[in-house]
């Protein structure tokens, strides 16, 4: 009995020692609910695969809350090694030279296996510097696609297997749907800023701002009041007045999905990552998937859509062992098996070509699941469709919503509203430039 006790005490001490020898790496993230559970499963896979490092994920709330917490922690010198930051925070993170360690540098310093050409250019392109070096590790990326109600299409006498390709068809199909009484509204959309402004610009190869949409430096300014964007916003207003389009509210457009689920609107444009949610809610009708519509009179359209979502940034000022662990963890995260598992589960895009290939079987079984992937890889990204990078962009997204609401209420026309976005947005960008120079 006594020897058993001693043995177990020794075992306990040994296990405690091995636990101490492990380097803990803090990872702050913003994935709640099922995504959070999946994330912890992935982390557990890494922790079980080796004994030197232990990644400790902590849920910190919404994207802005997580980013704010990490910045506050950095100021207090209590920062985590890894933090998940949403795409509009990229400008802020990037400008913080000295506060972040670019991923390409981390991988080089730690001698980790890292081949940037294995990544999908349209995913990592959003997060590279002007020389094409990867700054952060994409984790969850998505792109907007078109979801449509096949049952309503059939009722309206349209081919349920042909989603509209162009905006002219959007209008035509919507009118048919409304006239036939199959639904009372043609389409709605989430994210006026992300989908109907930023992605619209990239999809038509139109600039959002100067200096490669802000990639070229802090001097960049918004130019989103170009002819294509003005025409589109003008059309949205016209279609809203005609009842073809219904506005789903600011930011993500919380009221848009219910209008689609209740079959009030026949089509919705929303994130490819909301696929699982849309399927779960589309109980009473057949669901179809399509690419975003485009204006066929714009040269170069459709180009490629841009992504949204979040990436993992490495903050400086931690002990070196933690960075060795972080590099190992990133290797694990971008491995095809982990990527394919995460992307199939969540609806986010795979970040490497190998992972996309690994998902071929999944795509075969789930028609439409590859729409987003096809859309971002449609063409090689240009300087207009690589993404965008401006400081204070969280607030600029808010300005886009506000100006769009002014357009909807009729107090401004499309040109006036987009001029407002540019003028007010540039004031914030100038302030950001002054803070960071």
Partner 1 sequence: MKRTIFRNQLLPWLLLAPQLAITFIFFIWPAAQAVWQSFLREDAFGMKSTFVGMANYWRLLDSPEYLNSLQVTAVFAVSVTILSMGFSLLLAVAVDRMIRSAQTYTTLLVWPYAVAPAVAGILWWFIFNPTIGILPYLLDQVGYNWNHISDKGDAMLLVVIASAWKQISYNFLFFVAGLQSIPASLREAAAIDGAGPVKRFFTITLPLISPTTFFLLVVNIVYAMFDTFAVIDSTTEGGPAQATNIMVYKVYFDGFVGQNLGSSGAQSVILMLIVIALTVIQFRWVEKKVEY
Structure tokens at 325: 């662990």
Residue keyed to tokens 């207003």 = 237
Burial class, 167, CB count within 10 angstroms (exposed 0-12 / middle 13-18 / buried 19+) = buried
C-alpha 21/C-alpha 50 separation (Å) is 12
Minimum Å distance from CB 221 to partner 1?
18
Does 421 bind partner 1 (CB under 8 A)? Our answer is: no
Q: Cα-Cα-Cα-Cα dihedral of 228, 86, 417, 232, to 10°?
A: 30
Choice from 20, 117, 161, 409 touching partner 1 (CB under 8 A) = 409
Does 431 bind partner 1 (CB under 8 A)? Our answer is: yes
Does 406 bind partner 1 (CB under 8 A)? Our answer is: yes
Q: Is the previous residue joined to 231 through a cis bond, with omega within 30 degrees of 0?
A: no
Does 408 bind partner 1 (CB under 8 A)? Our answer is: yes
Choice from 1, 2, 48, 98 touching partner 1 (CB under 8 A) = 98
In this complex, which beta carbon is closest to partner 1, that of residue 34 or of residue 65?
65
Answer yes or no: are the C-beta atoms of 246 and 164 closer than 8 Å.
no
C-alpha 373/C-alpha 263 separation (Å) is 27
C-alpha 104/C-alpha 342 separation (Å) is 22
Choice from 31, 42, 55, 71 touching partner 1 (CB under 8 A) = 71
Structure tokens at 234: 């003008």
Minimum Å distance from CB 188 to partner 1?
12
Choice from 22, 47, 68, 281 touching partner 1 (CB under 8 A) = 68
Does 184 bind partner 1 (CB under 8 A)? Our answer is: no
Stretch that binds partner 1, among 145-153, 157-165, 204-212, 249-257 (CB under 8 A): 249-257
Stretch that binds partner 1, among 13-21, 25-33, 161-169, 243-251 (CB under 8 A): 243-251
Choice from 6, 15, 19, 75 touching partner 1 (CB under 8 A) = 75
Burial class, 39, CB count within 10 angstroms (exposed 0-12 / middle 13-18 / buried 19+) = buried
Q: Is the previous residue joined to 351 through a cis bond, with omega within 30 degrees of 0?
A: no
The residues that touch partner 1, with contacts defined as CB under 8 A, are: 64, 68, 71, 74-75, 92, 95-99, 247, 249-250, 254-255, 258, 392, 394-395, 401-402, 405-406, 408-409, 431, 434-437
């Amino acid at each position: 009995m006594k020897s058993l006790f001693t043995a177990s005490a020794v075992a306990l001490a040994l296990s405690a020692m091995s636990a101490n020898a492990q380097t803990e790496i803090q990872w702050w993230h913003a994935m709640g609910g099922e995504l959070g559970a999946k994330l912890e499963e992935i982390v557990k896979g890494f922790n079980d695969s080796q004994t030197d490092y232990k990644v400790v994920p902590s849920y910190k709330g919404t994207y802005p809350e997580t980013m704010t917490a990490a910045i506050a922690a950095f100021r207090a010198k209590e920062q985590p090694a890894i933090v998940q930051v949403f795409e509009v925070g990229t400008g802020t993170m990037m400008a913080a030279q000295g506060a972040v360690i670019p991923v390409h540098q981390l991988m080089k310093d730690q001698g980790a296996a890292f081949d940037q050409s294995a990544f999908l250019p349209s995913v990592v392109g959003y997060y590279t510097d002007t020389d094409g070096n990867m700054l952060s590790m994409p984790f969850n990326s998505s792109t907007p696609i078109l979801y449509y109600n096949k049952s309503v299409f059939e009722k309206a006498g349209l081919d349920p297997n042909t989603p509209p390709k162009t905006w002219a068809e959007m209008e035509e199909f919507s009118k048919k749907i409304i006239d036939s009484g199959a639904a009372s509204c043609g389409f709605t959309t989430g994210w006026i800023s992300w989908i109907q402004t930023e992605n619209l610009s990239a999809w038509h190869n139109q600039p959002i701002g100067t200096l490669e949409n802000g990639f070229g430096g802090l001097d960049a300014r918004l130019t989103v009041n170009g002819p294509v964007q003005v025409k589109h916003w003008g059309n949205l207003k016209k279609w809203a007045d005609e009842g073809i389009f219904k506005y789903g509210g600011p930011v993500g457009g919380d009221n848009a999905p219910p209008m689609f689920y209740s079959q009030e609107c026949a089509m919705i444009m929303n994130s490819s990552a909301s696929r699982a949610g849309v399927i779960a809610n589309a109980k009473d009708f057949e669901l179809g998937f399509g690419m975003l519509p485009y204006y066929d009179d714009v040269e170069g359209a459709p180009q490629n859509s841009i992504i949204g979502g979040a990436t993992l940034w490495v903050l400086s000022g931690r002990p070196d062992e933690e960075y060795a662990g972080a590099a190992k963890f990133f290797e694990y995260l971008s491995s095809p098996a982990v990527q394919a598992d995460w992307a199939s589960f969540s609806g986010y895009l795979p970040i490497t070509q190998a992972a996309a290939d690994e998902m071929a079987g999944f795509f075969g079984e789930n028609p439409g699941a590859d729409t987003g992937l096809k859309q971002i890889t449609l063409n090689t990204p240009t300087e207009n469709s690589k993404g965008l990078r401006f400081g204070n962009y969280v607030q600029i997204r808010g300005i886009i919503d506000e100006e769009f609401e002014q357009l909807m209420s009729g107090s401004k026309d499309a040109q006036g509203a987009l001029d407002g976005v540019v003028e007010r947005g540039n004031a914030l960008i100038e302030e950001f430039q002054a803070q960071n120079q």
